[in-house]
């Protein structure tokens, strides 16, 4: 009989990046890389566990922008071409290195990987959302929602209608996609402010995830810390991130992904191959980019990229198994210790970005596979669980008021509000006020109805926390700035057109084609609560 629970929670999210107006935009490859390196490998793991009779339990958010992109025919077609290019390049690499044994071995490893990705992609006709949904239908995977466009909710709280729109539009989109209402929500950036739980309850949500200190500094202070959820006064439960298990995976100092045997992310064929050879497989303008084909391992701390040794998937897989065993051992000891103190089953909530597994940490899907297999066969101390299943099994919890928090730098809001990105918020706030204003209007004709709905889409897209995040990290900043400005400009034009009663139908049609997220949105979601 298990004396504790472990909940592995993955946050699958990418910003809405879709450019039908251009033949090539580098940022669209964020999706293609995640499909090849994270989502397909996770599906392969799930299929293998199911095939072998392992009743695994994992929770995963799938955000509306990600779901929309995964189901978009244009992006599916472009991914197909992207994968074909990878298959062609790795075949060339195997031929080119016929006398270089280790590189050929690695090229053949990638060829097998891309071939398996192709087979899975075609087996589901490019619809990975349906592929994930089948595991929800068997109760192995619990899919939860997020904010409609991953808007940073505490920085919108002065406009409750804006927070409500992020929550309600997400819940409606989830129900349209999965045929049922979501039970839980991953708050964007795990960012919570007091009072938000009332809207979550009104939307029918049962629980949310927040950072550990959001629970630890709750009032009154929770008796069991982050090792049991707390109920808010509305009845919505809050689960807090476990610091210990998070550190073992996330930490750049002591985390598993830094092991010498693992693949080096920053040394890629796209930057290392001779230019004329690699030119057909980089950007159309001739600029180099990552291809995803990487031949070197981390090797050791402090080494420059030139000093990295060749990667070996065999030894990396062995290390992933070792790390999964270590993670399991630590959770066993943690559960035993906590159960002895609490005298009830603790829950250890381990949330991570899904893209860590496979994209950033290439061996991450292997780690997950081994963790579930070892947890199933090699121990009986804890059970893997879904958060909703835990609430059913343990319906009595302490009532507290969580503390304002996020899982960003220093635990609050400054990563999304600082000198690099503060300029966006006066514009977002003004647009929000305008959206609330025009939400009172009743459309005079179908064209105005479309314009009002498109205005709601543009505001939601401008609010994506990804743009502020990118501005702070300093990578791809021009794109993030351009996206913020373009959505705000489109919104303001729509607002002005609606106000004067003269909508530019040709321009609106183009914008609807580009920003086609939430086809069933109703702008009235912005009316006063």
For residue 243, give Cα distances in angstroms to 21, 292, 453.
44, 31, 42
Q: 437-442: long-range contacts at Cβ-Cβ below 8 A with a sequence spacing of 24 or more?
A: 438/495, 438/498, 438/499, 438/523, 439/161, 439/523, 439/524, 439/525, 439/526, 439/527, 440/527, 441/498
User: Using the 8-state DSSP alphabet, how is residue 401 labeled?
Assistant: B
**What is the per-residue pLDDT for 86?**
98
Residues above pLDDT 90, as percent of the chain: 95
**What is the per-residue pLDDT for 32?**
98
Give the closest residue to 292 by CA, choosing from 261, 265, 260, 258: 265
Band (pLDDT 50/70/90 cuts) for residue 252 is: low
**What is the per-residue pLDDT for 408?**
86
How far apart are the C-alpha atoms of 15 and 466, rounded to whole Å?
6
- The DSSP bridge pattern shows strands 58-62 and 4-12 to be parallel
Of 187-191, 251-255, 352-356, 462-466, the one with minimum mean pLDDT is 251-255
The structure tokens listed for 246 are: 């998070």
| Predicted confidence (pLDDT) at residue 370 exceeds the cutoff of 70 | yes
| Predicted confidence (pLDDT) at residue 253 exceeds the cutoff of 80 | no
**What is the per-residue pLDDT for 301?**
81
**What is the per-residue pLDDT for 195?**
96
The structure tokens listed for 336 are: 């035993």
Cβ within 8 Å of residue 269, ≥6 positions away: 89, 93, 278, 291, 293, 294, 295
Cβ within 8 Å of residue 523, ≥6 positions away: 435, 438, 439, 452, 453, 455, 456
353 is catalytic: yes
Within 258-385, residue ranges assigned H as helices are: 269-272, 275-278, 313-342, 364-377
Interval 378-388 mean pLDDT: 97
For residues 235 and 205, the answer to whether their CB atoms sit within 8 Å is no
Q: Would the annotation count 258 as a binding residue?
A: yes
28 is catalytic: no
Q: Which helix (H) or strand (E) holds 226?
A: none
For residue 54, give Cα distances in angstroms to 5, 142, 324, 385, 510.
17, 16, 16, 13, 48
pTM of this prediction?
0.97
Catalytic: which of 108, 202, 322, 353? Answer: 353
Of 252-266, 272-286, 493-507, the one with minimum mean pLDDT is 252-266
- To which residue do tokens 């997220």 refer? 517
The HSE-up count of residue 16 (CA atoms within 13 Å, CB side) is 29
The structure tokens listed for 102 are: 């280790």
Q: Which helix (H) or strand (E) holds 24?
A: none
Interval 256-275 mean pLDDT: 96
**pLDDT tens track for 387-398:** 999 999 999 999
Catalytic: which of 72, 189, 261, 458? Answer: 189
Give just the sign of the alpha carbon dihedral 90, 96, 98, 103.
negative
In the sheet with 207-210, reading across from the earlier edge strand, the strands are 184-186, 207-210, 237-240, 230-231
For residues 154 and 413, the answer to whether their CB atoms sit within 8 Å is yes
Give just the sign of the alpha carbon dihedral 484, 485, 491, 492.
positive
Q: What are phi and psi of 424, to 5 degrees?
A: -75, -25
**What is the per-residue pLDDT for 251?**
78
Q: Would the annotation count 241 as a binding residue?
A: yes
Interval 210-226 mean pLDDT: 96
DSSP string for residues in 227-273 = GS-EE-TTS-EEEE--HHHHHHHH-TTTSGGG-TTSBPTT--HHHHS
Measure CA 130 to chain center.
17
Q: Which residue has the higher pLDDT, 455 or 475?
A: 455
Determine the length of the chain: 529
For residues 407 and 363, the answer to whether their CB atoms sit within 8 Å is no
Band (pLDDT 50/70/90 cuts) for residue 292 is: very high
Interval 351-367 mean pLDDT: 97
Q: 68-72: long-range contacts at Cβ-Cβ below 8 A with a sequence spacing of 24 or more?
A: 68/16, 68/173, 68/516, 68/517, 68/518, 69/14, 69/16, 69/17, 69/18, 69/31, 70/31, 70/35, 70/39, 70/127, 70/128, 70/129, 71/127, 71/129, 71/177, 72/18, 72/516
For residues 311 and 102, the answer to whether their CB atoms sit within 8 Å is no
**pLDDT tens track for 180-209:** 999 999 999 999 999 999 999 999 999 999
Q: Would the annotation count 504 as a binding residue?
A: no
């Amino acid at each position: 009989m298990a004396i504790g629970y472990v909940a592995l929670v993955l946050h699958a999210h990418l910003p809405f990046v879709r450019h039908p107006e251009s033949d090539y935009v580098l940022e669209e490859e964020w999706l293609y890389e995640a499909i090849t390196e994270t989502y397909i490998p996770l599906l392969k793991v799930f299929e293998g566990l199911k095939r072998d009779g392992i009743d695994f339990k994992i929770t995963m958010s799938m955000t509306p922008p990600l779901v929309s992109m995964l189901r978009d025919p244009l992006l599916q077609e472009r991914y197909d071409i992207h994968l074909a290019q990878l298959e062609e390049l790795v075949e060339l690499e195997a031929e080119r290195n016929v006398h270089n044994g280790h590189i050929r071995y690695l090229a053949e490893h990638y060829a097998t990987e891309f071939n398996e990705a192709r087979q899975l992609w075609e087996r589901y006709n490019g619809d990975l959302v349906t592929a994930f949904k089948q595991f929800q239908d068997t109760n192995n995977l619990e899919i939860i929602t997020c904010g409609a466009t991953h808007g940073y909710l505490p920085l919108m709280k002065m406009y409750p209608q804006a927070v409500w729109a992020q929550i309600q539009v997400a819940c409606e989109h989830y129900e349209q996609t999965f045929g049922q209402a979501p039970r839980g929500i991953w708050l964007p950036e795990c960012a919570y402010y007091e009072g938000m739980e009332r809207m979550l309850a009104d939307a029918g949500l049962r629980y949310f995830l927040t950072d550990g200190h959001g629970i630890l500094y709750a009032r009154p202070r929770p008796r069991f810390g982050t090792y049991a959820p707390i109920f808010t006064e509305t009845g919505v439960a809050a689960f807090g991130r476990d610091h210990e298990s998070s550190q073992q995976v996330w930490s750049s100092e002591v985390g598993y992904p830094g092991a010498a045997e693992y693949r080096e992310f920053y040394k890629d064929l796209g930057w290392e191959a001779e230019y004329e050879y690699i030119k057909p497989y980089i950007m159309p303008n001739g600029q180099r980019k990552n291809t995803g084909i990487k031949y070197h391992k981390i090797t050791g701390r402090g080494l420059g990229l030139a000093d990295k040794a060749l990667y070996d998937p065999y030894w990396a897989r062995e290390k992933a198994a070792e790390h999964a065993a270590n993670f399991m051992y630590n959770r066993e000891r943690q559960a035993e210790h906590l159960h002895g103190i609490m005298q009830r089953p603790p829950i250890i909530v381990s949330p991570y970005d899904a893209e860590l597994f496979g994209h950033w940490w290439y061996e991450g899907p292997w780690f997950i596979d081994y963790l579930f297999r070892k947890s199933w066969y090699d121990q009986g101390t804890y059970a893997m669980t879904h958060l909703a299943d835990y609430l059913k099994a343990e319906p009595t919890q302490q009532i507290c008021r969580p503390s304002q928090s996020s899982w960003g730098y220093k635990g609050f809001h400054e990563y999304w509000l600082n000198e690099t990105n503060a300029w966006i918020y006066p514009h977002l706030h003004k647009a929000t006020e305008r959206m609330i204003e025009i939400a009172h209007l009743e459309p005079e004709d179908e064209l105005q109805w479309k314009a009002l709905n498109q205005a709601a889409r543009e505001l939601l897209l401008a609010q994506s926390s990804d743009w502020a995040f990118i501005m702070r990290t300093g990578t791809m900043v021009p794109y993030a700035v351009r996206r913020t400005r373009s959505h705000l400009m489109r919104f303001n034009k729509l607002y002005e057109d609606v106000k004067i009663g003269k909508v530019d139908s040709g321009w609106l049609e183009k914008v609807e084609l580009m920003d086609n997220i939430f086809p069933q949105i109703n702008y009235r979601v912005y009316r006063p609560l």
